[in-house]
Amino acid sequence: MPKLIGVFDTFKNLDQIPVSNISRWTKHKSNLEGISNFLGNRLLYPQTVSMNKLEIEIDLAILREAISNHPEVVYSSSSSKIIIPEKFLHLFPPPTSLMIILIQSLKLPKITSIFLNDLAGNTLEGSIYAPLKLPAQDTVDITINGQKSQLKLGTIAVFPILEHTLEVVIDDTEKVLLNGGKLGLAIDLRKKING
């Protein structure tokens, strides 16, 4: 018989995630019992929504661990695509937090496209750009459709741009065509561990 489910239903073995792994991403790290009970109730009642910022923080921490343990649920490395249910936007606001979770949980190549999936199919709604070679200086000049910004090395920047086609120029040297949308564009300037 059908019943309401939640976004975490697609991830297996969530109840096996050590609570300490979830709590390390939250402000109230010491409340392990509270976080443990939250996880249990989230699994028991997957259709429920978080009421306040504290609960959203725990939900995002669970999502982060879930994606880290099972990246294949949202990410296809062969096609460099992230496909997530449209419902993620609704249940894990704001979109910038969701983008950061995806970047921090997955090992991504230089360019990754992000699709939102709903009943109509998959729609391209964002992208992540992670340059492989980082410049020597502390900051990087980024121009997006003519708008210039300066970003610090070692950071992740998320631009909530709805336009689908974006011309991105990095340090006046590299030009690349990327996509915006409901999730926008994220630029990952963190140091890469493997080259």
- Where do contacts with other proteins occur on this chain (CB under 8 A)? 1-4, 13, 15-16, 19, 33-34, 36-37, 39-41, 43-45, 47-53, 55-56, 86, 90-91, 93-94
CB closer to other proteins out of 93 and 154:
93
Tokens of 141: 């000049």
CB of 55 to other proteins, least distance (A): 6
Terminal alpha carbon distance of the chain: 50
Phi-psi region of 181 (alpha: psi -120 to 50; beta: other; left: phi over 0): left
Least Å distance, CB 40 to other proteins, is 3
Contact 127, 115 (CB under 8 A): no
Nearer to other proteins, 19 or 102 (CB): 19
Neighbouring CB atoms inside 10 A of 62's CB total 23
To the nearest whole angstrom, how small is the minimum distance from the Cβ of residue 109 to other proteins?
30
Q: Which of 182, 190, 112, 177 is nearest to 151 (CA)?
A: 190
Q: Closest approach of Cβ 181 to other proteins, in Å?
A: 13
CB closer to other proteins out of 50 and 104: 50
Q: CB of residue 25 vs other proteins: minimum separation in angstroms?
A: 16
Give the residue with the Cβ less far from other proteins, 62 or 189: 62
Nearer to other proteins among residue 39 and residue 130 (C-beta): 39
Three-state SS sequence of 123-149: EEEEEEECCCCCCCCCEEEEEECCEEE
